[in-house]
Structure 1
Amino acid sequence: MPLLRLVKYYHLPCRNYSSNLSYFYDDLHICLCYNYEKQRLANCFDFNHNMKFDCLEQSVCVNEGQCFQDTSDCPQRAMCICPACFYGTRCQFSSSGFGLSLDPILAYHIQPHINLIHQPNIVKTSFTLTTIFIVAGFINGILALITFNNKTICEVGCGLYLLGSSITTLVITIIFGLKFWKLFLAQMAIISNRLFLQVQCTSLDFLLRICLNMKQWLNACMAIERAITIIKATYFHLLIVIIDTAIYDPFYRRLIDDDNEDEKRVWCIVTYPSSLQIFNSIIHTFHFFDSICQ
């Protein structure tokens, strides 16, 4: 059917389906249904289904998000449409799988260039509770380290694992405290040094992941009684194996800028290739079930 004749029938779908149909499309057009003098009519536009939504190959979106600009000539704004299980202004966060990042949980509530006293209540509450937990965890780690740093206790296998677990707990508390304070200072725009942010982006989450997995496995190993010589070898190889399961993580972490009309933020994100994402999920699941089976 000739195109000019076909266009005359575009009003029929809107009329036949009443208010249940808001839009429809074919190979050449996309049509919006609207009400006009008690009638349902179609307002149609040319539409290229093969168009690449990459903002003229300058897309700011990650994780395969589609980029849209306000105009093709001299664009001033861009926005991202995220695929399933991703969110954020740049599609930088994922709601699937496992993660350690505080950024998607708290960062959007922190207001840049505003004193802590004038931050939203959820930010002040989180700051207070987290500071209490960090101080309590640090004291607990010190006391546990003093308790298990004993020759008599370390004469048996479980004693060595308890000592290692105490050290790991203390390190986890310190790293988490550094990560939490960095998040606050960076999102409040007090820290803006790009090199510092990049170094912490690639290091803190990696070290925190290693220490958490190490603590889980040390606790699991306490259920097994072995000779001291076997335990020492296991302890050494355990650390090497755990580091090997996460050694790839820092290479896929980077900083992205999130600019809009009201504020500017810097995010630390990790983006794995699809094959490595599967491997990462398997490793996380393996460590997760280890902690359950302790």
Structure 2
Amino acid sequence: MLNKSAQLISNYSPIKYHHFCLNNTDLFCFRDDFYLCICSENHSRVECFRYDSKHDQCSHCLAGGRCLKGDQVKSTDFICLCPPCHSGTHCQFNSNSFAFTLDQLFFIDLISINRKAIVRLLIILPLVLFLLALPNNLFSIVTFRRQNCLRNGIGQYLLYMSIINQFNLGFLAARLIHLTINITELHSDSSLDNYLCKIFSFLLTSSSRIVYWLASLIAIERVYMTLFLNGR
């Protein structure tokens, strides 16, 4: 298929298309918006067929991937030609060397021979971490809600950090479980997976950054109290 040839012949009648085969010996086939034409072996003539290119169009691929449709009846019969640094059935996984994502970290393991063990690990481990951290964060919340702890900014920051840390572990568990289901194709819904991937990634990144900022504010206030308030 030659896009340049298709643009040139868009205003031609299919009767005159044999000139393209005569003048281009390396040309095997070409098309326009209405016809698909195939050159003969000796390039002396051309055979054109009525063809609607809209039947081959689909929009299931992400990240600018090219979607190629197979069976016209089955909407699930397609393949995505992904751009560089992207992979997956819908080009949904990013392996850019300048970005570090959970997709990049676990993709190879989840398509390997030992993926069953990795799937169990990615589902069980974050849930265990969530349950282990739950009583610790609950006790921290109860402790830092006391009036004595809320008199200064450090106690308030520690209270907020305990709450956000628990949510952060919940977002991590949800993101890993969703990633596992998506890569192993236990459930396939491209639009839903796209939204969930963006939502979980945003919440996980935002909550982590908030914790970093709260830790920085705690350190700044402790330095301020030590230098100017004599540790009071």
The separation in 1 between residues aligned to 2:65 and 2:191, in whole angstroms, is 27
State the partner residue of 2:90: 90
State the partner residue of 1:60: 60
Shift of 1:140: 2.3
Match of 1:152 among 148, 157, 160: 148
Q: TM-score, normalization: structure 2? A: 0.54
Q: Which runs of 5+ in 1 are unaligned?
A: 8-25, 31-42, 46-52, 111-118, 228-294
Bigger strand share: 1
- Shift in CA distance, 54/214, structure 1 to aligned 2, threshold 3 Å: farther
Q: TM-score, normalization: structure 1? A: 0.45
Q: Secondary structure at the match of 2:67?
A: strand
Please tell me whether the aligned partners of residues 153 and 159 of structure 1 are also in contact (alpha carbons under 8 angstroms): yes
The separation in 1 between residues aligned to 2:54 and 2:209, in whole angstroms, is 39
Please tell me whether the aligned partners of residues 65 and 80 of structure 1 are also in contact (alpha carbons under 8 angstroms): yes
- Shift in CA distance, 87/200, structure 1 to aligned 2, threshold 3 Å: closer
The separation in 2 between residues aligned to 1:70 and 1:101, in whole angstroms, is 31
Please tell me whether the aligned partners of residues 138 and 173 of structure 1 are also in contact (alpha carbons under 8 angstroms): no
Match of 1:214 among 189, 210, 214: 210
State the partner residue of 1:81: 81
Q: Cα RMSD (Å) of the superposition?
A: 4.8
Count of residue correspondences? 179
Match of 1:125 among 121, 125, 132: 121
Please tell me whether the aligned partners of residues 66 and 82 of structure 2 are also in contact (alpha carbons under 8 angstroms): yes
Aligned pair 1:161/2:167, yes or no?
A: no
Q: How do 1:1-294 residues align onto structure 2 when only pairs under 5 Å count?
A: 28=27, 56-70=56-70, 77-96=77-96, 98=99, 105=106, 109=110, 120-180=116-176, 188-189=186-187, 203-225=199-221
The separation in 2 between residues aligned to 1:206 and 1:69, in whole angstroms, is 32
Q: Secondary structure at the match of 1:222?
A: helix
User: Of the two, which has the highest radius of gyration?
Assistant: 2
Please tell me whether the aligned partners of residues 70 and 78 of structure 1 are also in contact (alpha carbons under 8 angstroms): yes
Bigger helix share: 2
- Shift in CA distance, 131/210, structure 1 to aligned 2, threshold 3 Å: same
The separation in 2 between residues aligned to 1:204 and 1:4, in whole angstroms, is 57
Deviations, residues 27-63 of structure 1 (Å, cap 9, x unaligned): x469xxxxxxxxxxxx9x9xxxxxxx99733242221
Q: Secondary structure at the match of 2:220?
A: coil
- Shift in CA distance, 143/68, structure 1 to aligned 2, threshold 3 Å: same
State the partner residue of 1:237: none
Shift of 1:87: 0.9
The separation in 1 between residues aligned to 2:89 and 2:173, in whole angstroms, is 27
Aligned AA (1:212) = S
Identity %: 25
Please tell me whether the aligned partners of residues 60 and 67 of structure 2 are also in contact (alpha carbons under 8 angstroms): yes
The separation in 1 between residues aligned to 2:131 and 2:93, in whole angstroms, is 29
Aligned AA (2:89) = T
